Chain A
Amino acid sequence: MKKNNLFLSFLFIALLSFSFVSCSDDDDNSTQTIDPTEPVELELKNITNLHMPNDVIDYVTGDIIQANPFNYFSFAEGGLVDESESWDIAFKGTTIITNSGVSGNGSAMSVVVDGTFDDIKTAPEDSEFREDTDTELAIKKGGGNGWYNYDNQYHTITPIPGKVIVVKTDNGKYAKMEILSYYKDSPTTIDQTAESAHYTFKYKYQTEDSKSLK
């Protein structure tokens, strides 16, 4: 018996597999910038389980069985308002419209920014904000386009991580919001019992004339 050979062969395989797996890479290039003129941190506000359902549609014919209204939200008020009042954005199902352009008479504008909620410390340039147009909403519709992903297999709506909606409100202030869940009580597992069109989101609203959203 050549024991050595057996040992060597195992060593050989072990080395091979080791050299193979050890070439995984890892890098972390987080940069931190500290603003010397530190503005005051804004108050974090949460909205939970705001039910804003879509129209009821017969998916065989495509007909609308029951039309539901938009629900109008004002950052200044911190809640829903009437359409006749100064609103910023409005919800119906997964659609979010902004109070300007084809959607409203106001002057609100929106932009979806990539980043974490905390990363977005200032509002983007005004030129980045969009009104709703005939062809495209400021907060785009459709799975994977705007704020949510749609899973074809499980038919679930999940907010895309790293999408922050920044709104220049109807009264010219700035707000940022992140949608956390589209289902009632923000379940970690979305199953058949989950009730959709229940928005949970967090936001910060700058009451001053400042672009800071810290």
Chain B
Amino acid sequence: MKHTIGTLFFVFAFIQTISAQQTQKKDTINDLDEVVITATKTKRQLSNISVPVTLLKAKDIESLGVTNLKDVLQEVTGLDIVYDHGAGVQVQGLNSDYILILVDGNPLVGRVSGTFDLSRINVGDIEQIEIVKGPSSSLYGSEALGGVINIITKKADRTSASIIGRYATNNTITGNAELDFVKDKFKLNLGINHYQTDGYDLFPETFGETVSPFNNQTFLTNIGYDFTKKIKFTVGGRYFQEKQDYDYLNNDLIINSEGNIKDFFIVPKIDIEISDDLETNLRWYYTKYKTDSESIFEASNETYDASFFNETFQQLESKTTYKIKNAHTITLGLGYIRETVNTSRLAEDITFKANNLFTYAQYLWDINKKANITIGARIDKHDAFTTQFNPKFSGFYRFSDNFSINASIGTGFKKPTFQQLYLNFSNASVGYTVFGTTYVVEGVEKLIQENQIKLGENGEPVLYDDYYKIKDNDGKIDPETSVGINFGFNYSPIKNVFIKGNLFRNDLDNLIESTAIALKTNNQFVYSYKNVRRVYTQGITVDVSYHLNEKLKFSAGYQYLDAKDKDVVQEIKDGKRYGRNPKTGESFKLKLSDYGGLFNRSKHTANFKISATNFWKKISGNLRIIYKGKYGFADLNGSGILDSDNEYTEGYTLVNTNFSRPFFENKLILSIGAENLFDYTYKTDEYTITSLPGRILYTSLKLNL
């Protein structure tokens, strides 16, 4: 509370100072000419797009002074970063599992337990980030249920270079170099990034560190060559490597571990402009994600554990866009995806392969200057599960220059993972077994032959209902699916005030969970997977911005989120769910009002930002306040759901600030700033937010050549 008051005081003092200095100037805004590509796979003006899109430009990102994508997205209204096997982004209450991360339209792979760890993406060499909320499987296929985040990398437009050095708390050093080179028809962009940190330790009293030291390097490139004005060739590429050493205790023995992560992609692409109305392109995208770790006992040098995971993904895609009289835009796409996975978590050394053919079509009609509609659909034909058809409809209408609305409805899907389809894993120490659904019949038969399945009184092996269900279904499991509805508006009630709002609802069905299918002779179970759960998320986001003048801008954002398991809601209504009083230990019937919904979702999140450009002696600065309301972190009372006060964290506020000043005609830019200025950390008996290291101070120097 003290911090909040302090912050508010600071904010008001800040406004006073700046307001006093400003002479009222006519303002020229707004971002009407901003162009985005992700929502429709064609270039469209942001101002008349029919789905919820948030655009972050390079200068917006740079002004934050942060170095990682997760820190950038953390400050976007309606986005949240949730830590579960890495820093995953949550959009409209849907976890990282259901959000597709793209680089120039190409999907990044390498998820751990469903989470795409954003820490792998350092900010550098980025032109803009486009965030499309709501289901987008009609264009992007699997995993685009909750939305798509597309990182558009820089393309060279003139020869230039820049170098950034940054030093921050915890001995965190970042170096970033970018080179743009243009000569005639040849364009080259090259970005190199190095990051290293000593990490931090929130539990000095216990062995091991919360985050052990690690370092990573990123190389990004874009090479372009224009054969003619109408035939253009580009190659994009990325290489990333990360290394982390960490120690931990196992039965009082020290174990030294080393973990490596590598990812790589290359994407050659040719664009052909056949006529003014007809464009086509062909691209091949190849990406690889590779991790390995090795753990040894420090005392004996003997191996404790070694594991690896290799994933490849390649996609050949052609896209053709045809425009008729500038009013009708038809986009057609056709593609093929091939994926492989090879991991030490399989009994045998097998590389699993999957093939996916897809095609999509989209029709965009600019009815007049005020209205447009988009209709699209995509079909995915996959080896292992039923063909998926995902349509989407959206429309936009402008009532006046300062008021417009948009609405969309679409479906999304997420394919079963390799693990859910093909896993054949037995835990040596505990003795349970997990089979992917396609392997269930063969795997169980094998266990029966090996006398590993317990026999019942009738002499038959003990197989549960779900075994027969999977068998009857030929080992097929359905993708997880969703239907999403968005309704939004843009309103400018008075000059320089902009209000953007969006109502959303997502209904997810067929969510996959593990289930016991047989009993082993060692009294452990054989598990596989089935489609069971249904959840919904709904809420509203509102963004208000006020441009006082060219130098001073305010913005505020808020999201209300309600995310629940539908079956749990039904069971509570039916009186089948119980809670436990933590003091008396008594069980009681839960009421709907006791149910807090899905874990790791804050009902209320908000942000507030003031930015001042060149407000005093060429200094620019900003102050950002990010509020994250209380959220449930775990079930502590055995009820299996979030229903007890001690299962929530407190809500908290983080304050970030950044100031910069150019020297020598913008050749040199000096920045200083703080993340988590008031050194907020959260540590209770029940729970510690390990992703909050406390205050980070930094200074950076950018050299433009």
A contact residues vs B (CB 8 Å cutoff): 1-3, 5-6, 8-9, 12-13, 16-17, 20-21, 24-30, 59-62, 114-117, 133-135, 141-142, 144, 148-149, 151, 153-154, 158-164, 178, 180-181, 186, 188-191, 200
Contacts and interface: CB of A to CB of B under 8 A. Distances in A.
B638 A161 contact: yes
B493 A160 contact: no
Contacts of A61: 429
B646 A189 contact: yes
The 10 tightest CB contacts between A and B, nearest first, are A162-B578, A158-B638, A180-B585, A161-B578, A5-B493, A161-B580, A161-B587, A9-B493, A6-B493, A149-B638
B462 interface: yes
Contacts of A158: 635-638
A60 B429 contact: yes
Interface stretch (B186-194, B278-286, B495-503): B495-503
Contacts of B165: none
A206 B117 CA distance: 58
Interface in B515-565: 516, 519, 523, 525, 538-540, 542, 560, 562
A158 B523 CA distance: 21
Contacts of B589: 30, 116, 162
Given A25-B592, A62-B431, A161-B638, A189 B686 contact: yes
A2 B499 CA distance: 15
B220 interface: no
B639 A160 contact: yes
B573 interface: yes
Nearest to A8: B493
29 contacts: A3-B494, A8-B493, A13-B542, A17-B542, A20-B503, A20-B539, A26-B591, A59-B429, A60-B429, A114-B576, A116-B578, A116-B586, A134-B457, A135-B456, A135-B519, A142-B525, A149-B638, A154-B634, A160-B638, A161-B578, A161-B638, A161-B639, A162-B576, A162-B587, A162-B589, A163-B587, A164-B587, A178-B587, A189-B686
Most buried by B among A116, A181, A200: A116
Q: Which of B542, B583, B587 counts the most chain A CB atoms within 10 A?
A: B587
Contact of A189 (B457, B575, B685): B685
Interface of A is mostly: loop
A12 B501 CA distance: 10
Contacts of B586: 116-117
A144 B560 CA distance: 33
A29 B493 contact: no
Contacts of A141: 523
B582 interface: yes
A45 to B, nearest CB: 14
Given A151-B635, A161-B579, A116 B587 contact: yes
Interface in B645-671: 646
Nearest to B489: A12
A158 B637 CA distance: 6
Interface string B449-466: 000001111000010000
B528 to A, nearest CB: 16
Interface centre among A9, A148, A191 (most CB of B within 10 A): A9
Contacts of A5: 493-494
Nearest to A201: B585
B646 A188 contact: yes
Nearest to A29: B575
Given A16-B503, A135-B457, A160-B638, A186 B585 contact: yes
B45 to A, nearest CB: 23
B593 interface: yes
Interface in B478-509: 491, 493-494, 497, 499, 501, 503
A6 B636 contact: no
A112 B685 CA distance: 32
B399 interface: no
Given A1-B494, A142-B525, A159 B638 contact: yes
A74 to B, nearest CB: 23
Most buried by A among B523, B575, B583, B686: B575
B583 A188 contact: yes
B556 to A, nearest CB: 12
A93 B455 CA distance: 25
Contacts of B497: 6
Given A61-B429, A134-B456, A162 B577 contact: yes
B106 to A, nearest CB: 33
A134 B493 CA distance: 74
Nearest to A7: B493
A164 to B, nearest CB: 8
Given A2-B494, A9-B493, A26 B639 contact: no
Contacts of A26: 591-593
Contacts of A162: 576-578, 587, 589
Contacts of B455: 134-135
B32 interface: no
A72 to B, nearest CB: 21
